[in-house]
A and B are shown apart, each in its own frame.
Chain A
Amino acid sequence: NAGVTQTPKFQVLKTGQSMTLQCAQDMNHEYMSWYRQDPGMGLRLIHYSVGAGITDQGEVPNGYNVSRSTTEDFPLRLLSAAPSQTSVYFCASTKRGNTEAFFGQGTRLTVV
C-alpha cells in the first residue's frame, strides 16, 4: 500500500494562476481532508469529505474548491492563486470513526 500520495511535492505559481493539488489514498478510507500549515499556526482545515460526493468546508476554505468523485481521490483546486496561499498543504485520510489520520508528504506551494 502506498498510503496517501500527494503531487506535486513543490510548486511555484504566479498570482492569479490556477492549479490542482492531487491527493490519492489506497486504504479505502471514507474520510479525507486538506490542511494548510503555516509557521506558528499549526495545521488548519481547509475542506474535508466524509465520502464520495460529499464535501464540506473547514476553518479556512476561501479561495479553494474540492470535489470527491471517487473514494480514492480528493483534489484541491486553487481558483486564482494569491501570495497569502503560500503554504505547505497536507492531505490526510481517516477510516470512519475518528481513528488515526494518515498524512501525505505535503505540497510546498509558493505564490509570487
Chain B
Amino acid sequence: SQQGEEDPQALSIQEGENATMNCSYKTSINNLQWYRQNSGRGLVHLILIRSNEREKHSGRLRVTLDTSKKSSSLLITASRAADTASYFCATAPYGYSTLTFGKGTMLLVSP
C-alpha cells in the first residue's frame, strides 16, 4: 500500500504566489524526497530531507519534516508558470531499498 499521501490533490494559484503541499506517511523513514513530474514526462528529483533534519532549502524550495507527526511540507516561493506540474513525495522506509510514492499534488500556476 502507498506510504505517502499528499494534500491537497490539486492547487491553483497565480504567478508570484507561494504554493504549499503537504505529505503524510505511515512508517519510520530513513529520508523523504520530493519529485516533480511535468505532464507526460518522467519524475525529476527536487530535494531530499533526512530523518534527523527538520528543514531544508534549495533555491525557491523549502521542505520541512516532522517525524513525530509523520508529515512533511513542500513550499515553493514566488511561483512561476513553469512550476506547473505534479509533485510527489516519496519515502525511503528503514530496511527497504525502494521508494514509496504518494498520489501527488497537481499544481497549476496561472500567469
B-contacting residues of A (Cβ < 8 Å)? 4, 31, 33, 35, 40-45, 48, 50, 58-59, 90, 92, 94, 96, 98-106
Contacts and interface: CB of A to CB of B under 8 A. Distances in A.
B41 A102 contact: no
A43 to B, nearest CB: 4
A101 B90 contact: yes
A106 B44 CA distance: 12
19 contacts: A4-B42, A31-B98, A33-B98, A35-B101, A42-B2, A42-B104, A43-B101, A45-B98, A48-B97, A59-B1, A92-B43, A98-B97, A99-B48, A100-B33, A101-B33, A101-B99, A102-B45, A105-B42, A106-B40
B30 interface: yes
Q: Which 8 A-B pairs have the closest CB atoms?
A: A103-B42, A98-B92, A42-B103, A100-B45, A43-B101, A103-B43, A105-B42, A98-B30
Nearest to B4: A42
B31 interface: yes
B contact face: mostly helix, strand, loop, or mixed = strand
A100 B48 contact: yes
B2 A103 contact: no
B64 interface: no
A58 B33 CA distance: 19
Interface residues of B, number: 24
Interface of B: 1-2, 30-31, 33, 35, 40-45, 48, 88, 90, 92, 97-104
Nearest to A40: B103
Contacts of A96: 97
A16 B41 CA distance: 28
B60 to A, nearest CB: 19
B41 A105 contact: yes
Contact of A50 (B1, B44, B97): B97
Contacts of B41: 105-106
